Chain A
Amino acid sequence: MSQQNRLGTGGRIDRSRPLRFSFNGQTLEGFAGDTLASALLANGVDVVGRSFKYSRPRGIVAAGAEEPNAIVQLGATEAGQVPNVRATQQALYGGLVAASTNGWPNVDRDLLGVIGSVGGRMMPPGFYYKTFMAPASLWPKYEKYIRKAAGLGRTPKEKDPDIYDHINRHCDVLVIGAGPAGLAAALAAGRSGARVIVCDEQDEMGGSLLDARELVDGRPASAWVASVLAELATLPEVLVLPRTTANGYHDHNFVTLHERRTEHLADLAPSINGRRQVRARMHRVRAGEVILATGTHERPLVFANNDVPGSMVAGAVSTYIRRYAVVPGRRLVLSTANDHAYRAALDWADAGREVVAIVDAREHPEGDLVNEARARNIRIIPGSAVIEANGKKRVTGAQVARIDIGGFKVAGRVETLSCDTIASSGGYSPVVHLAAHTGARPEWRDDILGFVPGKVPGMTPVGGVHGKSAIAEALADGAAAGVAAAQRTGFKVEAPALPKVAKVREGKAAALYQVPHVKPAMRAPKQFVDPQNDVTAAGIELATREGFESIEHVKRYTGMGFGTDQGKLGNINGMAIAARCLKQTIPQTGTTVFRPNYTPITFGAIAGRHCREFFDPRRFTALHAWHVEHGAKFEEVGQWMRPWYFPRGNETMHEAVQRECRAVREGVGILDASTLGKIEIQGKDAREFLNRIYTNAWTKLDVGKCRYGLMCKDDGMVMDDGVTACIGDNHFHMTTTTGGAAAVLDWMELWHQTEWPELEVYFNSVTDHWAAMAINGPNARKLLAELTDDIDLARDNFKFMDMREGTVAGVPARVYRISFTGELSYEINVQANHALHVWKALFEKGEKYGLTPYGTETMHVLRAEKGFIIVGQETDGSMTPEDLGMQWCVGYKKPFSWIGRRALTRPDTKREDRKQLVGLKPLDPQLVLDEGAQIVLEKEIRIPMPMVGHVTSSYYSPNLGHSFALAVVKGGSQRIGQTVYLPMADGRVHAAEVVSPVFLDAEGARQNV
């Protein structure tokens, strides 16, 4: 098949560069400068897909972003697969491989077409809800086939090898759209010296000028485009971005621009000098002023069988002929309600092909283009419209009749015209989508029969998007807006001299959306409104009859505008039909909301480089390299990578943890505790601040002493805990949970800045500055003694909860005698860059004591044996200090009503049946309960039954010789000695005895040696 629809001359394609490509397995040829759609049309490919619901054959309808049918799966390789690409927006390149998205098993022989034609009337709106939802158990089965049939495209099965960038930009003026208005605005603003970005979604800039019939300064309009682009290229502050879609317009003039840098070259980004090029850039632009020059989308008319391939919007016909030198048929019937669409017939005739007739809905069409058509003896049928298309896989004829628009009825006999192409135009809908992203409701204008953008601060619409479509008018509008925008951002400039463009006189357009048929809409052949989602005029009518009056409900019930095209082509027609059925005006009916993205966008572009190791920052302690070297398995705690356990040889996790647990209790173990949050608190009111922020008292904490503190929110619920040491009278060192460090700092700043600014106190995070190593176990003192000669370690001189400053392994250190294991324990803090030295020194001396590194899992077991809580594990934001059995840590006598105190006397926090922390001892001593398991009071399980709590921590303890758990249980402190039950998902019911949460050394003898 050669390019039978290609003209010998004209167009903006390069005939010296033929390109071979494949569509649905067939090899075809196009030219450089083609889109995939223009190349398909050049080759006479009529059917490009099957419709979503009825599986009807579909052809190319439009030439831009509004295309609903030509949605293809792109990619020659598995990794390069891209779903839902509009063929009208995909530049052709050599080796391009595309396939229809819809159509199963294929577009020409389609199994579902049978269902579509036989059962068409059985698939009204709400069909899926009404039919497939019951019985619910069968839904997964239906869904599988519906999805396959619906052909939503597929994602690649291989990793995406491409690179995507994000770029932050700031500009004075952002111009979106490079048609006549946009280019004039960019030129005017650019000449002022303002920083200007001008973007356009197409491969070539110029918009409607690229296929305009009008001459600009006596030359083809494209020559003026070239001259403007040449000048913009010389302006250093102007950035011109072709192939760049403004895909989202966010608050305060923040606009994301999706620039496709290689998708016109190959399915995967090519390499230059061995370096893979960046496939797409997401420019995150904060603009002083936005000039919205997005133009219009033409509305097709809604007539019966208007989806048969060969039916197109009129402007697309002109674009294919003039820009791509492709005439998409032989014999044209144009159905229009305005003058502008006459261009399609004139262009068709210019191309030397037959215009069968122009069918004009208006009784007395008048205007320059109408007169030109008359002068060329093209048959014009006034007061009429195409009411139905003939044909299945290609239009074979058009049924034309007189219509009464006001009465919405056919007013004369039906004449059938033989043709293979029907172009239609119901008018031009401004592309308001971007403005609507900001929340601005579009406003209806009767004079242009369309919605224009609502007001957005800092945004100026220019050109067609607010009804100024004629080239001369758009140029002047854009230039004036460009000057004004530059001025508002502080730049002065004269308006540029504008080229001369002859004004084309146009008659008034008629308001025609759905074309009446001889049969009522419900009985007539389908009149498609939203071809991508197979929404028909009858469907909208039915929705309104079933009581859906809000356009948002009609949209959801029918699916109108839910496709990947967001109903760019059909939404206004749908609203007009809903308005007619509801006997109200279009503005009364209103519009639906458009949301980003304007056109579908690959996830890669959204993620940019924020994926894999860059998705979230990872934090490592100063000792990380040692841990890796010694085979640690790691666990992520917040952003921190912490050693989880250190397996030896082929040890399982359980074996390693059991060994580490015993080593700490019998010899000495060491934990990298550097990740604990550390906050310096200084100032003369630091002590008072601690009194207010912690539940317990700090007034009498002497220098060199440490104290455990509980922090509550003002609702009385525990939010963090940790040990704080008094370094000097005005100087404290606070530790927080690893995950809570940032939140605690914010929390203290909040109270200081908003409630107690009179307190002189300062906070600073020092988490990363100090490395912390905790040595735990009976041999801890002996080990430390080998590395310090200036700290007196004697039992009575360096007591439990004391802090000493001195040197360890020859470097300055703070040593805290605190314990999270219940053992004799010292936490050695040194400057982080000394950490590895000290750690290694400890291991040198520690070998004879069996010094064992342990990780977070062993830490969890050891602290749980002692009943020490972990905030976030034993607590969930609903536990008070008393719920945790920590009354000893609550200073009710403190004079200031500290954060959380008042709430502890509210009726709900005083309830005795609150969930309270207890220990659980499974009756089977080998059984480790599931963390999160629900607790009930009766052995006989019935549903429902009261659930009284859940397991928060659960382990096997080699020190105890049995499994154990911590749990929260309603009224738990009164249930010590009772047996509770834990029903599991598999039907088993475990039993456990409620015991004290302290399993080991309740009197604390081990840490006080």
Chain B
Amino acid sequence: MLHIYCPHCAETREEEEFRPKGEAHIARPVEPEATSDEDWGNYLFFRKNPRGLHHELWYHAAGCRKFFNVTRDTVSYQIHETYKVGQKPSVTADKGAAK
């Protein structure tokens, strides 16, 4: 069971309080009607499934009801950072883990 730091509550809480919501940073196209069928399909249905670092959207459902992002290693389950919606991750697959 993961131990997750909620950046809104500023506390580390048990996974039971949270719900995973899939890949983070999936922006809805600004002009959906001008988006091709293929691009819209990609937006709707296609997600990364990396082995290693992954940026995920989580929801503090039984807590503050806020969404936030988690950079998690899908192999070791290590959580490298959590950050608010609208912020950019500081740990990425290109830059490598901070520690």
Contact = CB atoms under 8 A, between A and B. Distances in A.
Given A753-B66, A902-B33, A907-B37, A251 B2 contact: yes
A903 B33 contact: no
Contact of A252 (B44, B61, B77, B86): B77
Contacts of B33: 897, 901-902
B31 interface: yes
A226 B3 CA distance: 36
A844 interface: no
Interface string B20-48: 01000001100111010100110111000
A714 B61 contact: no
B91 interface: no
Contact of A746 (B1, B2, B32, B59): B59
Contact of B28 (A286, A714, A746, A749): A714
Given A252-B77, A746-B59, A754-B85, A901 B32 contact: yes
Contacts of A634: none
B21 A750 contact: yes
Contact of A906 (B28, B37, B61, B65): B37
A218 interface: no
B1 A254 contact: yes
A251 B1 contact: yes
A746 B35 contact: no
A902 B31 CA distance: 9
B1 A903 contact: no
B3 A439 contact: no
Contacts of B31: 897
A760 B86 CA distance: 17
B17 interface: no
A247 B5 CA distance: 26
A755 interface: yes
B90 interface: no
Nearest to A742: B61
Contacts of B86: 757
Nearest to B19: A746
The size bracket of the interface on B is 20 to 34
A806 interface: no
A439 B76 contact: yes
B30 to A, nearest CB: 9
A457 B1 contact: no
Determine which residue in B33, B35, B75, B76 has the highest number of CB atoms from chain A within 10 A of its CB, and name it.
B76
A162 interface: no
Given A254-B3, A753-B66, A753-B85, A906 B35 contact: no
Nearest to B31: A897
B3 to A, nearest CB: 4
A897 B32 contact: yes
A714 B86 CA distance: 21
Interface string A639-657: 0000000000000000000
A254 B21 CA distance: 23
Determine which residue in A457, A753, A757, A903 has the highest number of CB atoms from chain B within 10 A of its CB, and name it.
A753
A901 B78 CA distance: 38
Given A457-B78, A749-B65, A903-B40, A757 B85 contact: yes
A250 interface: yes
Contact of B1 (A252, A902, A906): A252
Nearest to B84: A753
B15 to A, nearest CB: 8
A753 B67 contact: yes
A907 B38 CA distance: 11
A902 B3 contact: no
Contacts of B27: 755
A203 interface: no
Contact of B40 (A286, A439, A754, A902): A902
Interface string A238-255: 000000000000111110
A913 interface: no
A757 B78 CA distance: 29
A755 B28 contact: yes
B70 interface: no
Interface in A700-723: 714-715
Contacts of B1: 250-252, 254
A906 B40 contact: yes
B87 to A, nearest CB: 12
Nearest to B27: A755
Determine which residue in A251, A749, A757 has the highest number of CB atoms from chain B within 10 A of its CB, and name it.
A251
B19 to A, nearest CB: 8
B59 A902 contact: no
Contacts of A754: 57, 67, 85
Contacts of B67: 749-750, 753-754
Nearest to A456: B76
A897 B45 CA distance: 19
B26 to A, nearest CB: 9
Contacts of B35: 902
Interface in A737-758: 746, 749-750, 753-755, 757
Interface in A232-290: 250-254, 286
A903 B45 CA distance: 12
Interface string A284-324: 00100000000000000000000000000000000000000
B69 to A, nearest CB: 10
Nearest to B4: A252
Contacts of A749: 59, 65, 67
A455 to B, nearest CB: 10
Nearest to B77: A251
Contacts of A715: 44-45
B12 to A, nearest CB: 9
A246 to B, nearest CB: 15
Nearest to A896: B32
Contacts of B85: 753-754, 757
A754 B69 CA distance: 10
A634 B22 CA distance: 37
Given A250-B1, A286-B14, A746 B61 contact: yes
Contacts of A746: 19, 59, 61
Given A286-B14, A907-B37, A252 B2 contact: yes
Contacts of A901: 32-33
Interface in A436-476: 439, 457
A714 B21 contact: no
B82 to A, nearest CB: 13
Given A715-B44, A749-B67, A439 B78 contact: no
B28 to A, nearest CB: 6
B55 to A, nearest CB: 13
Contacts of B57: 754
A457 B77 CA distance: 11
Nearest to A756: B28
Contact of A750 (B40, B45, B59, B75): B59
Nearest to B67: A753
Contacts of B14: 286
Contacts of B78: 457
Nearest to A745: B65
Nearest to B59: A746
Nearest to A253: B3
Contacts of A903: 40, 44
B95 to A, nearest CB: 20
Q: Which 5 A-B pairs have the closest CB atoms?
A: A902-B32, A252-B3, A897-B32, A254-B1, A753-B67
24 contacts: A251-B1, A251-B77, A252-B1, A253-B3, A286-B3, A286-B14, A439-B75, A439-B76, A457-B78, A714-B28, A715-B44, A715-B45, A746-B59, A749-B65, A750-B67, A753-B66, A754-B67, A755-B28, A757-B86, A897-B33, A901-B33, A902-B33, A903-B44, A906-B41
Given A254-B1, A755-B28, 13 more contacts: A250-B1, A251-B2, A251-B77, A252-B2, A439-B75, A439-B77, A749-B67, A753-B67, A753-B85, A897-B31, A902-B32, A902-B33, A902-B35
Interface of B: 1-3, 14, 19, 21, 27-28, 31-33, 35, 37, 40-41, 43-45, 57, 59, 61, 65-67, 75-79, 85-86
